[in-house]
């Protein structure tokens, strides 16, 4: 049973769960690197007949990743039994989403980041009407991205041409590690169809 009350949403997320398990994303390699563990959650929901994902934008005042768009998540703490515990704890801390309201569908391929983390990305469904309570210390803006309407573009960012995702009026630009995670997610979403 998925968190979407809409039958089309339930069917879509059921197919997505099956595809995540049947055709797992490739994990990136990082031989010889000593990296800190981290995990994120791609919280999906069904709205107006299509799948969406919540992303967050970090405040410009933060020392780590200021202004970047990402999925909720962070570094593994001593009390986190598994990476999934990390992703769910961080999602609660950043967005106020209770772990019991997340139906985990599967995971994407783990990957290293340039900030020395090994990130495991999980995919979960939340109710569309879940009450978000963004933590203003960690979150400047909560962003809803329509997964069927993302556009791949090239942009010149930080002195290099980079692959990015944009949508709508292209006010938000997703690149870097979050782009890699979103690219994997979009591949699964496109594979299961509408």
Three-state secondary-structure class, residue 161: strand
**172 inside domain:** no
Give residue 66's pLDDT: 61
Give residue 69's pLDDT: 92
**110 inside domain:** yes
**163 inside domain:** no
Inter-residue contact 40 to 73 (CB < 8 Å): yes
Q: What is the CATH number of the domain that holds 89?
A: 3.90.79.10
**125 inside domain:** yes
Inter-residue contact 57 to 86 (CB < 8 Å): no
**38 inside domain:** yes
Give residue 80's pLDDT: 94
| pTM check: above 0.85 | yes
E-state strands within the chain: 36-47, 50-57, 69-70, 73-75, 103-107, 111-112, 117-125, 141-146, 151-157, 160-166
Give residue 83's pLDDT: 96
**158 inside domain:** no
State the CB neighbour count (10 A cutoff) for residue 178.
24
Give residue 160's pLDDT: 77
- CA 1, CA 29: separation in Å to the nearest integer? 34
Of 172, 88, 92, whose CA–CA distance to 131 is shortest? 92
Query: What is the DSSP code (8-state) at residue 108?
Result: -
Give residue 90's pLDDT: 97
| Domain range for 69 | 7-27+34-149+178-192
Inter-residue contact 141 to 97 (CB < 8 Å): no
**Long-range CB pairs of 156-164, under 8 A, 24+ apart, other chains included:** none
- CA 78, CA 86: separation in Å to the nearest integer? 10
Q: Tokens representing 104?
A: 């985990």
Give residue 143's pLDDT: 96
Of 172, 193, 185, whose CA–CA distance to 52 is shortest? 185
**157 inside domain:** no
Number of domains making up the chain: 1
Give residue 28's pLDDT: 83
Print pLDDT tens along the chain (194 aa): 456 678 999 999 999 999 999 998 888 877 788 889 999 999 999 999 999 999 999 887 766 666 689 999 999 999 999 999 999 999 999 999 999 999 999 999 999 888 888 999 999 999 999 999 999 998 999 999 999 999 998 887 777 788 888 999 888 999 889 999 999 999 999 999 88
Give residue 161's pLDDT: 83
Residue 16: half-sphere exposure toward Cβ, Cα within 13 Å: 34
**185 inside domain:** yes
């Amino acid at each position: 049973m998925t968190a979407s009350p809409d039958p089309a949403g339930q069917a879509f997320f059921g197919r997505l769960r099956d595809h995540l398990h049947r055709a797992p994303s490739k994990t990136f390699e990082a031989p010889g690197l000593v990296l800190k563990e981290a995990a994120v959650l791609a919280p999906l929901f069904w709205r107006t007949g299509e799948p969406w994902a919540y992303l967050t934008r970090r405040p410009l005042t933060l020392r780590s990743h200021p202004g970047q768009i990402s999925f909720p998540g962070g570094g593994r703490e001593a009390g986190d039994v598994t990476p999934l515990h990390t992703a769910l704890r961080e999602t609660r801390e950043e967005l106020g989403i209770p772990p019991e309201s997340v139906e985990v569908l599967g995971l994407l391929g783990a990957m290293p980041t340039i900030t020395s983390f090994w990130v495991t990305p999980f995919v979960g469904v939340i109710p569309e009407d879940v009450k978000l309570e963004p933590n203003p210390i960690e979150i400047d803006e909560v962003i809803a991205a329509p997964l069927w309407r993302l556009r791949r573009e090239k942009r010149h960012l930080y002195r290099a041409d980079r692959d990015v995702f944009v949508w709508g009026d292209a006010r938000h630009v997703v690149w870097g590690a979050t782009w890699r995670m979103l690219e994997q997610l979009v591949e699964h979403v496109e594979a299961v169809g509408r």
